[in-house]
Structure 1
């Protein structure tokens, strides 16, 4: 199996996605998704930004490599009675079933950044966006002190070395890399804008409970705990993450509100 597919089908990301809904709604509002737009949500998960886009009247295609998340997104859309959205399985590196120049907006929030061939991802995103359309990405930033970047950094220290040729997902959080990849896809440099933004996780429970969601359902964290258990370092990993979650929490002892900084990329085709 494709290792990226295996990673995202391993857990149940819908458990974490439930803590991201408010920020998904706010993001869709901020990029002015409206009726009549054609939107591709790439690495859509179970629809955190795809469903709000459809609720605003856009015609939406959600694509994800994980079949369980595609099914979960389709189920959510069906329960809401949304007929202007569909979900399908696909690879951000090669959108074989997607025609060129057809979307007004291509969105990928913490999705396509995890695909293994970033130059192919940039090329495909540019290819399927119509002239005059936009691409919006949200990417975690390497070395950032806030939640998700630190989770990935801590987990990497407890995991086996990556395979030869591996490109870190958080390399998408470096503006120079973003520009290089989209310029190689034919986008003029002055059509690319990068800014730091914040995404907030909200969980109706203490930070320890929120951490348990990452430990039990988020593929990268699950892999790190498995590796740490094999090396006898599971308690050490748990302690480092506990300290991180408690430090970052802006809620109460019984509720979790944690903002995380990311690089927001906007590309004008």
Structure 2
């Protein structure tokens, strides 16, 4: 199996996505999705932003590499009674079957950044966007002090070295790299803008319980714990993550967790 597919089919990312709904909806509103817009939501997961786009009247296609997440997204859309949205399995590196210039807007929040061939990802996003359309990406930032970047950094420190040729997904959070990748796809630097934005996780439980959700259901954290258990360091990893989550929890209620995380918001005018 494709290693990236295996990673995102491991566990149950819907448990994490459930804590991301409010920020996803707010982001979609800020993007300016219009009624009748043709939108591709790439790396859509179980539809956090895709359903919000459809509710604003867009004609939405959600694409994700994970079969279970595509199934979960279809179920959520059915339950919401949305007929202007569909989901299919697909790879952000190769959007075979999607014609050139199909979409007014391509959105990828923390999705396409994890695909293994970033130059192909940028090229494919540009290819399927119509001239005059837009691409909006949300990407975690390397070494950022907020929660997600630190979670991934800590997890990688307990995991085996990546395979030869591995390209860190966090490089999508570096403005110069973003400009270089879209430049290779034919986009001039003046057509690319980047700013720092905030995404908030909201969990109905303690920060330690939230760590346990990541441990049980989030592929990268699951892999880190599996490696840590083999080396006898699982307890050290748990303590480090619990300290991280607790230190970033902004909720005044000990039994609730609210954690903001900084990301790079990329907008490309095609």
Q: Which TM-score band (shorter chain)? A: over 0.9
Q: Which residue of 2 aligns with 1:268?
A: 269
Q: Which whole-Å CA distance do the structure 2 matches of 1:119 and 1:66 have between them?
A: 21
Q: How does 1:77-116 map to 2 (within 5 A)?
A: 77-116=77-116
Q: Which residue of 1 aligns with 2:2?
A: 2
Query: What secondary structure sits across from 2:97 in the alignment?
Result: coil
Shift of residue 151, structure 1, vs aligned partner: 0.5
Q: Which whole-Å CA distance do the structure 2 matches of 1:149 and 1:184 have between them?
A: 26
Could you tell me the TM-score, scaled by structure 1's length?
Answer: 0.99
The question of 1:254 aligning with 2:248 is answered no
Shift of residue 188, structure 1, vs aligned partner: 1.0
Shift of residue 263, structure 1, vs aligned partner: 0.2
Q: Which residue of 2 aligns with 1:50?
A: 50
Q: Deviations over 1:230-263 (max 9, x none)?
A: 0000011001101000000001211000000000
Q: Which residue of 2 aligns with 1:183?
A: 183
Aligned residues: 269
Q: Which whole-Å CA distance do the structure 2 matches of 1:92 and 1:260 have between them?
A: 24
Shift of residue 215, structure 1, vs aligned partner: 0.6
Shift of residue 42, structure 1, vs aligned partner: 0.2
Could you tell me the TM-score, scaled by structure 2's length?
Answer: 0.99
Shift of residue 210, structure 1, vs aligned partner: 1.0
Q: Which whole-Å CA distance do the structure 1 matches of 2:231 and 2:180 have between them?
A: 39
Q: Which whole-Å CA distance do the structure 2 matches of 1:219 and 1:204 have between them?
A: 21
List runs of 5+ in structure 1 lacking aligned partners. Answer: none
Q: Deviations over 1:187-225 (max 9, x none)?
A: 111000000000000011111111111110000000000
Query: What secondary structure sits across from 2:195 in the alignment?
Result: strand
Q: Deviations over 1:95-147 (max 9, x none)?
A: 00111101000000000000000000000000000000000000000000101
Backbone CA RMSD of aligned residues: 0.5
Q: Which whole-Å CA distance do the structure 2 matches of 1:110 and 1:40 have between them?
A: 14
Shift of residue 91, structure 1, vs aligned partner: 0.2
Query: What secondary structure sits across from 1:49 in the alignment?
Result: helix
Q: Which residue of 2 aligns with 1:239?
A: 239
Q: How does 1:1-269 map to 2 (within 5 A)?
A: 1-251=1-251, 252-269=253-270
Runs of 4+ in structure 1 over 3 Å off: none
Q: Which whole-Å CA distance do the structure 1 matches of 2:154 and 2:194 have between them?
A: 26
List runs of 5+ in structure 2 lacking aligned partners. Answer: none
Q: Deviations over 1:36-64 (max 9, x none)?
A: 10000000000000000001100000000
Shift of residue 79, structure 1, vs aligned partner: 0.8
Shift of residue 5, structure 1, vs aligned partner: 0.2
